[in-house]
Amino acid sequence: MSLWEYANPKRFMQISAAVLPWVAGFGGVCLAVGLIWGFFGTPEDYRQGATVKIMYLHVPAALLAINGWLMMLAASLIWLIRRHHVSALAARAAAPVGLTMTVIALVTGAIWGQPMWGTWWVWDPRLTSFLILGLFYLGYIALWEAIDDADTAADLTSVLCLVGSVFAILSRYAVLFWNQGLHQGASLSLDKEENVADVFYFPLLLCIAGFVLIFLALVLYRTRTEIRLRRLQALMARDRLL
Amino acid sequence: MPELGKYAGEVLSAYGISLALLAVLVAVSLARGRRVRAKLRAYEDRKGAR
């Protein structure tokens, strides 16, 4: 069976209906256990105090804000190259979820930064590119809403997604490109010296798994909605012609 | 409730705002999904009845 069979809307609806409850349920359990473990079961950090508990929201949300855009990039490329409608609709469905993750990461980052850095915001390379990524999310959603013809909207938003990918990548690697700014390096690393301590690491992993699964569940659900809406619009357009 | 010390306000507001944003996103997605499904079903039923 070819991977492209899943691009058939009918097949996508069948498979997503079967998978969605499991992904959503497992995601909810992972997130609940991870957050409860992180909030109630981990100690204060010796430097950051109790603010370290903000990490369980900030890190997964930031990770998904960036990778959500990269998922939209992959879907947009599939649309541009192979013209599969489901991929364009999946990219559209993911945008509000990615925007919410970006807002969560920005807000929790500001709340965390104030006591640690002495300021809510600084024009640091990573923070600035992250803010621009958030604006790209807004622009992407607005562009979809602004164009009536669905295929033209999918084409233009895909191009916008390609351009915005620069900022998605920058916000991940800005710390490495520019050796300046207040934001620390990655919390998770294969280097044991750089990685967070085990006591924080395992609940953080659970929170990340929970956020990823909830992101997936929301994108699947919202893509199903977009497919239904597209079908309704197609039926109404056909009836107007008859 | 864990002892959050002088950072209780920051930690609780970060959790409150984040969980509220997630809840709004889920609620809006579900509401829109139900509305579109009901509209499509009604339209298809009307077409089937004709």
What range defines the domain where residue B9 resides? 5-49
Nearest-by-Cβ selection for A51 from B10, B18, B47: B10
Is A190's pLDDT higher than 60? no
Predicted confidence at residue A30, as pLDDT, reads: 97
For residue B49, the chain A residues in CB contact (below 8 A) are none
Is A199's pLDDT higher than 90? no
Q: How many CB pairs under 8 A join A and B?
A: 90
Inform me whether the C-beta atom of residue A59 falls under 8 Å from chain B C-beta atoms.
no
Residue A193 confidence class, pLDDT cut points 50, 70, 90: low
For residue B42, the distance in angstroms to the closest alpha carbon of chain A comes to: 10
User: Would you mind telling me the total number of residues written for chain B in this entry?
Assistant: 50
The per-residue pLDDT of chain A, averaged, comes to 89
Residue B6 confidence class, pLDDT cut points 50, 70, 90: confident
Judge: A228–B47 Cβ closer than 8 Å, yes or no.
no
Other CB atoms within 10 Å distance of the CB of residue A62: 24
Q: Most A CBs within 10 Å: which of B25, B28, B30, B43, as the mutation test of the A interface?
A: B25
Of A111-120, A194-203, A213-222, where does the model show the most confidence? A213-222
Which value does ipTM take for this structure? Answer: 0.92
More confident residue, A180 or A110: A110
- pLDDT digit string, tens, across residues A45-71: 888 888 999 999 999 999 999 999 999
Is A222's pLDDT higher than 80? yes
Judge: B21–A54 Cβ closer than 8 Å, yes or no.
no
Total tally of structural domains belonging to chain B: 1
Question: pLDDT over 70 for what percent of chain A?
Answer: 89
**What is the arithmetic mean of pLDDT over A168-196?**
67
The per-residue pLDDT of chain B, averaged, comes to 91
Is B2's pLDDT higher than 90? no
Closest-CA residue to A206 (of A45, A49, A42): A42
Residue A83, Ramachandran bin (φ over 0: left; ψ between -120 and 50: alpha; else beta)? left
Which tokens belong to B2? 């864990």
Q: Tell me the C-alpha distance between B2 and A108, whole Å.
A: 19
**What is the arithmetic mean of pLDDT over A140-148?**
95
For residue B25, the chain A residues in CB contact (below 8 A) are 96-97, 100, 218
Inform me whether the C-beta atom of residue A46 falls under 8 Å from chain B C-beta atoms.
no
For residue B13, the distance in angstroms to the closest alpha carbon of chain A comes to: 8
Inform me whether the C-beta atom of residue B44 falls under 8 Å from chain A C-beta atoms.
yes
Question: pLDDT over 70 for what percent of chain B?
Answer: 96
**pTM for this one?**
0.91
Inform me whether the C-beta atom of residue B37 falls under 8 Å from chain A C-beta atoms.
yes
Question: pLDDT over 90 for what percent of chain A?
Answer: 67
Residue A141 confidence class, pLDDT cut points 50, 70, 90: very high
Which H helix or E strand runs over A118?
none
Nearest-by-Cβ selection for A50 from B4, B36, B39: B4
Closest-CA residue to A38 (of A192, A189, A195, A202): A202
Helices A198-241 and A55-82: crossing angle in degrees, nearest 10, is 40
Q: Tell me the C-alpha distance between A56 and A4, whole Å.
A: 36
Which tokens belong to A50? 């109790």
More confident residue, A185 or A90: A90
